[in-house]
Amino acid sequence: MGISRLLLAVLQLYSYLLLIRVILSWVNPNPRNSLLLMVFKVTEPVLGPLRALFQFRGFDFSPILALLLIRVLMSVIAKPGF
């Protein structure tokens, strides 16, 4: 039971980082901010490949897809027997 709770916590934290990145994309933050750089370094390995696979007329749906995938993983992990 402990490993599943840890995985759920990590996935929840990652989803928060994705939401922070989306919010930061709406404003013009200082590009040298260490917190901003950390958020980009942590989220880009997931968002980059999704962005390359799913481009639609200049809109970036990769954060939405990543959040959906995280929610699916969380529901699979939360099921009894995992």
Domain boundaries, the chain: 2-78
Q: Quick check: 81 pLDDT over 70?
A: no
pLDDT at 45: 96
DSSP letter (8 states) at residue 22 = H
Q: How far apart are CA 39 and CA 27, in angstroms?
A: 15
State mean pLDDT over 52-60: 82
State mean pLDDT over 52-61: 83
Give the N- to C-terminal CA distance of the chain in Å, as an integer: 8
Mean pLDDT estimate for the chain: 90
